[in-house]
Chains A and B, each alone.
Chain A
Amino acid sequence: MSTTSQKHRDFVAEPMGDKPVTALSGIGEVLGKKLEDQGFDKAFVVLGQFLLLRKDQELFIEWLKDTSGANSRQAVSCSQCLTEWCDAFL
């Protein structure tokens, strides 16, 4: 396993189900609140956006930065987390 955070590993280990958006790797309280304000209150909604962008990491990172004000590290972490989840479960 690469040196991913515990949050990343926890998220990628099982179907996301109804997990909140803060369960995503890279998304903490502050970013989670901002995403919820935009209507992305659950992780699967963010997944929806990721899939809409055809799982393009660059575009998703851009979108996440615009929507939530994430920095590069957080956006990359979230994007990578979703990519791996999709590889495992989609």
Chain B
Amino acid sequence: MPVFVEDPSQFSKQRLKLALISHNVELPPEESKKQVYMDLYMKHIWNQSNADFSSDEEDQTQSSTEEEIREENNMMDLSLLTDDQLKKKLLQYGVKPGPIVASTRALYERKLQRLEHSSQFKVNGTCTCDTAKYSDSEEEEEEEEEENEEESGSEELRPESVSHTETSATGSTIENKLSPQSQLGETAKTCNQTPVENRVQWEPMTDILMDLFPDAATTPTGIMATKRRPIKGAAGRPVQFKYPETPLSPATLEKREIQRRLVPLWVQIIVFLLVTALLYFIYISMEDQLENPFSALLDSLSEETVTEEVSLIPSCSQDVHTSEVAAQEQAVF
């Protein structure tokens, strides 16, 4: 507020007096010091001229003080809001909250605070439009890179420039959250991406338009017709979270497992065929040898039967045999 701080001090006492008269302010006694006149001037005329002047500096400074006041009011108000009011406020920012219960209320209050902070930052940046857009994103990236030294996981979350700024916003918000929680300070250092692939998978795509146009003026209620956040997945707009690799159901899981088995299955079949061919060739080569043992067995069997007959009927057969031989000899003769 350089304009107003300097002016009264630069004014002469006479000028201050005249100004006070022109504004119908009661003059202090003649002997009073310039400071008194200045105070009166500041008190009465400063308020009026606030309405008259519309310089950028004044707006910014005023808005910054107003913001501080607003922030304080918000911080106090959030806890005073009823569940319904909190829900409505979140809906204004395009966030669809779940039931606001004891365990979830704190989270939603914090989320609302963050949304209001980010909207206030955007109000500040309304003056410089194009240049600020790139500079802000660069600043965000620089901040993000600084934070990345602690949180090495954020790099994986930013494959593209669009999600770049978004995750930087979320990363910065998470970083803001981590800092007040000093007891979790070690977590900030150990924030890594051991499930790197998991972190790559999900890309929170919140505030797409807000980050594309970070300097768009926001209305007091937060409702903007042209810059409303996209509805998840509607009309081809990007879905809030992407899970490119998660299986949908146990059926798909099984299918994938079976598909994986098919690849080595062919190898198994080929191996099986080779083995059967091998065995077949062995069988063929063995055929000749097989005959001998069979024939040998047959011969041995027949010999055994003959010897058995001879041994079983020793005496009777001999008599019969001799009689038969005798008969045969007689017949021959």
Instruction: With A71-B191, A87-B246 as known contacts, state yes or no: A3 contacts B197, CB within 8 Å.
Output: yes
A-B interface contact total, Cβ < 8 Å:
102
Q: Bound complex: CA of A59 vs CA of B241, how far in Å?
A: 13
Q: Are A83 and B243 in contact (CB under 8 A)?
A: yes
Q: Does residue B107 face the partner (Cβ distance < 8 Å to A)?
A: yes
Among the stretches B3-11, B16-24, B182-190, B295-303, the one at the interface with A is B182-190
Q: Cβ of B184: which chain A residues have Cβ within 8 Å of it?
A: 65, 69, 71
B170, closest chain A residue (CB): A58
Give Cα A52–Cα B103 distance, bound, in whole angstroms.
9
- Cβ < 8 Å to B, chain A residues 1-29: 1-5, 13
**Min CB distance, A67 to chain B, in Å?**
8
Q: Are B202 and A57 in contact (CB under 8 A)?
A: yes
Do the beta carbons of A52 and B250 come within 8 Å of each other? no
Against B, the Cβ 8 Å flags (1 = close, 0 = not) of A46-58 are: 0001011110111
Chain B interface category by residue count: 35 or more
Residues on the A chain within 8 Å of B206, using CB: 58
Within 8 A of A (CB), among B137-183: 151, 153, 170, 174, 177, 181, 183
> Is A30 interfacial (CB-CB < 8 Å)?
no
Shortest Cβ distance from residue A37 to the other chain B in the assembled complex, whole angstroms: 15
User: Which listed segment binds A: B91-99, B214-222, B276-284?
Assistant: B91-99
Q: B74 an interface residue at 8 Å Cβ cutoff?
A: no
Query: Smallest distance from the beta carbon of B268 to chain A beta carbons, Å?
Result: 22
- Chain A interface size, as a band, is 20 to 34
Q: Provided the pairs A53-B107, A87-B248 are in contact, do residues A73 and B191 lie with their beta carbons within 8 angstroms? A: yes
A2 & B110 in contact (Cβ 8 Å cutoff): no
Closest-by-CB residue of B relative to A51 is B98
Question: Are A70 and B187 in contact (CB-based, < 8 A)?
Answer: yes
- Asked if B103 and A63 sit within 8 Å, CB to CB, the answer is yes
A57 touching B241, Cβ below 8 Å: yes
B147 to nearest A CB, angstroms?
A: 12
Q: Which residues of B contact A58 (CB under 8 A)?
A: 170, 204, 206
> In the complex, how many angstroms separate the beta carbon of A84 from the nearest chain B beta carbon?
5
Selected A-B contacts with CB under 8 Å, 30 pairs: A1-B256, A3-B197, A5-B195, A13-B253, A52-B101, A52-B104, A53-B98, A54-B98, A57-B241, A58-B204, A59-B107, A59-B111, A62-B110, A62-B177, A65-B181, A66-B107, A69-B183, A70-B187, A71-B191, A72-B153, A73-B194, A73-B195, A76-B195, A80-B202, A83-B243, A84-B246, A84-B247, A87-B246, A87-B249, A88-B250
Interface residues of A (CB under 8 A from B): 1-5, 13, 49, 51-54, 56-59, 62-63, 65-66, 69-73, 76-77, 80, 83-84, 87-88
Closest 5 CB pairs between A and B?
A: A71-B187, A72-B191, A54-B98, A2-B245, A80-B198
